[in-house]
Copies of this chain bind each other. A is one copy, B any other.
Amino acid sequence: MKKLLFLAIFSLLYQFSDAQDQTITGFFKENTEQQLQLEASFDKNLNVESIDKNLKLLSSKPHHLSSPGSKTNAEYILGLYKKWGWDAAIETFHVLFPTPKTRILEMTSPTSYKAILKEPELPEDPDSGQTGQLPTYNAYSADGDVSGELIFVNYGLPDDYKELDKMGIDVKGKIVIAKYGRSWRGTKPKVAQEHGAIGCIIYSDPMDDGYFKGDVYPKGAFKNEYGVQRGSVMDMVIYPGDPLTPGIGATKDAKRYDRLNAPNLLKIPVLPISYHDATPLLKALEGPVVPNDWQGGLPFAYHVGPGKTKVHLKVEFSWDIVPCYNVIAKIKGSKFPDEWIIRGNHQDAWVNGAADPISGLSAMLEEAKSIGNLLKTGWKPDRTLVYCAWDGEEPGLIGSTEWLETHQKELQQKAVVYINSDGNSRGFLYAQGSHALEPLMDEIAKTVIDPQTKVSVFERKKARDAIMANNTEAKEKDMNKTSLKLGAMGSGSDYSAFIQHAGIPALNLGYGGEGNGGEYHSIYDSYHHFTTFKDPGLKYEVTLAQTAGRAVLRMANADVLPFDYTHLYTTINGYASELEKLLDDSRKSTQIENELIAANAYKVAQDPTKKLTVPATKSDVPYLDFSPIQNSLVTLKKETDSLKAAYRAKINDNKVSPNFNRSLYRAEQQLLNKDGLPRRDWYKHTIYAPGFYTGYGVKTMPGIREAIEQRNWNEAQQQIKINAEAINRLADYLETAYKVR
């Protein structure tokens, strides 16, 4: 009976679609129409009102990890899934999560100032004055009570310390103040600690997300003088997840590190502040005026320090083991129940988190609702769907990482793909992921329609890239672009463990660029802010659900899974060329710099009154042997081309073996190196990792790239070998896939 209803609806929809001649990668011709009708039906079920209801409700209270609100939200989500016909449960982990007991920041010299460390309630924003908000702090700061001179370190990146060196300024034994931005926040205290600082203050400069960008909240979207970005400073580039249980699930009885020995936790105290609180501190600094590009948006000339400025920073935390609630919902696949299409978005926020994460979560829930409606028509996915609402993402991707680590073996067998989303807003598609999935996403991006302009989201993004390109050649290149390129994955959201630790193919999807603001991780990331500035009308919530939902449904029902490894080959080949160029450029620039130093050029060119030091000569950059990579890429090209031919044959023959599909989705695991990256063995993927000194920012072929950047030539040569071995493993694996099965 249900099946009949299902077919009736589909035929009705079919008459109004122009999809009759479309093909979809991975689908036999005979199954294409049905899939397109399914997707049309899926889209029809997506509804702004129900997204709005969830967005409003789930952001109606603070709901950080361990808060009552987080538990309520998890239970609400669980209830929704069950109502929609999913098999859902909460899976709980037990993880370390510090919350503040004491937060003091005061300037004691040359004048007194006690930082207020508090974002005020705004009458315009009904959620801004709620109780239960986490105070402004950086999670996993060390406990500390330090006093000392203050030094302004710009964004607190390694290059900024080189600039300080030039000025003869040392941060050892001092407290640093850094701007938010240009790197993941955790990089700032880490680099400060490496340089001997005893404390770190991070503030939001108005140049970065305050009045320099537009009107401030509540008049506009940007950060007002009191807004503070909370956030984790756990060193996630060593490993994410519960700091006490790297590599294993943080179950009740898991073996745990003592927190003082946890390798990814800081030794110094850190505190984030507003530009209201930063102003008196920065204004009091003496010492040299900052280099030109360090000046921020506050209305005075910034100085580096120290001078007479002394500050006292005290922070103490409750270091609690708290429950972390992942809501996991499943629909068993009718044909391949042991092949899982996993979709996830986190549910925890720093405060109310309407944008981060509820915008992405509400879109994902809408997909789940729509799929629930499809179920009611009698439809079943071929493969199992697993929809996950993660807890503890904000402190360190904890919920997703612990789940992956707990179920790693099973997931490496069964997980076909992990599809992530997070904060979402009005604007342009962004899509990162495993490059074998590029044709899938390309096809989707060309069929999802931008709600504002009614062209495909691919066309809109392409137009934007072309308009924004700053020279004719780049514009021409963008205009002639015929397919979507996936970005490489760094870190910053829940895909990290899947792709980088377990080699499970992943995608990260969202929209943005026209909903910029300064609300991130503050109490002002609210329903009012979101619906006023970030996506009024919630059109892009629907668009995200369409985009991610289509990816889920195509992966769920594909006859031949849409992995095209020729795209991965092309991408890796590009990275390899970049690395050779990076080394050559480094050699040339080292040579020129050394010549300039030898010719006394710095000594002669620099302003003598500034007493700048002259850079030290660097050792010459050797030539490295890239042939292992080059040879492995020749093999990979051959095998991926042959695999593609085999793939096409199967599509034409309407015939494929389950083994072939399994090989396709498990192949990426061949790129893992069991020993992981140097000094951070949790990261196993040889092609994608977050940068050791960038955090969220990706480093591709990270073992080689970072060794070159750090001028560790021996390691670079070793990593070339390790990367080549991984590529060869993948090539061999793919050869077996298309030959034997």
Q: Which chain B positions have C-beta within 8 A of A592? A: 472, 475-476, 479
Contact B479 A289 (CB under 8 A): no
A697 at the interface (CB under 8 A from B): no
Given A289-B214, A596-B475, is A463 in contact with B601 using a C-beta cutoff of 8 Å?
A: yes
Given A472-B592, A592-B479, is A211 in contact with B605 using a C-beta cutoff of 8 Å?
A: no
A599 at the interface (CB under 8 A from B): yes
Q: Which chain B positions have C-beta within 8 A of A75? A: none
Contact A464 B605 (CB under 8 A): yes
Q: Which chain B positions have C-beta within 8 A of A459? A: 604
- What's the minimum C-beta distance from A288 to chain B, rounded to whole angstroms? 10
Q: Which chain B positions have C-beta within 8 A of A514? A: 607, 609
Contact B601 A211 (CB under 8 A): no
Interface stretch, picked from A244-252, A297-305, A336-344, is A297-305
Question: Which of chain A's residues 438-473 have a Cβ closer than 8 Å to chain B?
Answer: 450, 452-453, 455, 459-460, 462-464, 466-468, 472
Mask, A458-502, CB within 8 Å of B = 1, is 011011101110001001100100000000000000000000000
Q: Which chain B positions have C-beta within 8 A of A693? A: none
Question: Which of chain A's residues 636-665 have a Cβ closer than 8 Å to chain B?
Answer: none
Interface stretch, picked from A20-28, A54-62, A215-223, A547-555, is A215-223
Q: Which chain B positions have C-beta within 8 A of A460? A: 604-605
Contact of A472 among B220, B467, B588 (CB under 8 A): B588
Q: Which chain B positions have C-beta within 8 A of A589? A: 472, 475
**A609 nearest CB neighbor, chain B only:** B514
A213 at the interface (CB under 8 A from B): yes
Given A301-B214, A608-B453, is A467 in contact with B596 using a C-beta cutoff of 8 Å?
A: yes
- What's the minimum C-beta distance from A672 to chain B, rounded to whole angstroms? 36
Contact of A601 among B222, B467, B606 (CB under 8 A): B467
Contact A453 B603 (CB under 8 A): yes
A595 at the interface (CB under 8 A from B): yes
Contact of A301 among B212, B588, B603 (CB under 8 A): B212
A292 at the interface (CB under 8 A from B): yes
Contact A299 B299 (CB under 8 A): yes
Given A464-B605, A467-B602, A472-B588, is A299 in contact with B298 using a C-beta cutoff of 8 Å?
A: yes
Q: Which chain B positions have C-beta within 8 A of A475? A: 589, 592-593, 596
A395 at the interface (CB under 8 A from B): no
Contact B452 A608 (CB under 8 A): yes
A709 at the interface (CB under 8 A from B): no
Contact B479 A601 (CB under 8 A): yes
- What's the minimum C-beta distance from A469 to chain B, rounded to whole angstroms? 9
A396 at the interface (CB under 8 A from B): no
A306 at the interface (CB under 8 A from B): no
Q: Which chain B positions have C-beta within 8 A of A299? A: 206, 211, 297-299
Contact A585 B472 (CB under 8 A): yes
A600 at the interface (CB under 8 A from B): yes
Q: Which chain B positions have C-beta within 8 A of A464? A: 604-605
Contact A301 B222 (CB under 8 A): yes
Contact B301 A216 (CB under 8 A): yes
User: Which of A215, A475, A585, A605: most chain B CB closer than 10 A?
Assistant: A605
Q: A460 to B603, alpha carbons, bound, how many Å? A: 9
Mask, A207-236, CB within 8 Å of B = 1, is 000011111100010100000000000000
Q: Given A220-B301, A463-B602, 18 more contacts at CB 8 Å?
A: A211-B300, A212-B295, A212-B301, A215-B289, A216-B301, A222-B301, A297-B299, A452-B608, A463-B604, A463-B605, A467-B596, A467-B601, A467-B602, A472-B585, A475-B592, A475-B593, A476-B588, A479-B595
9 tightest A-B CB contacts, nearest first = A463-B601, A464-B605, A463-B605, A463-B604, A467-B605, A299-B299, A211-B301, A214-B289, A215-B301
Interface residues of A (CB under 8 A from B): 206, 211-216, 220, 222, 289, 292, 295, 297-301, 450, 452-453, 455, 459-460, 462-464, 466-468, 472, 475-476, 479, 514, 585, 588-589, 592-593, 595-596, 599-609
| 30 residue pairs from A and B, CB less than 8 Å apart | A206-B299, A211-B299, A211-B300, A211-B301, A213-B301, A215-B301, A216-B301, A220-B289, A222-B301, A297-B299, A298-B299, A453-B604, A453-B608, A455-B604, A459-B604, A460-B605, A464-B605, A466-B596, A466-B601, A467-B596, A467-B601, A467-B606, A468-B605, A472-B592, A475-B589, A475-B592, A475-B596, A479-B592, A479-B596, A514-B607
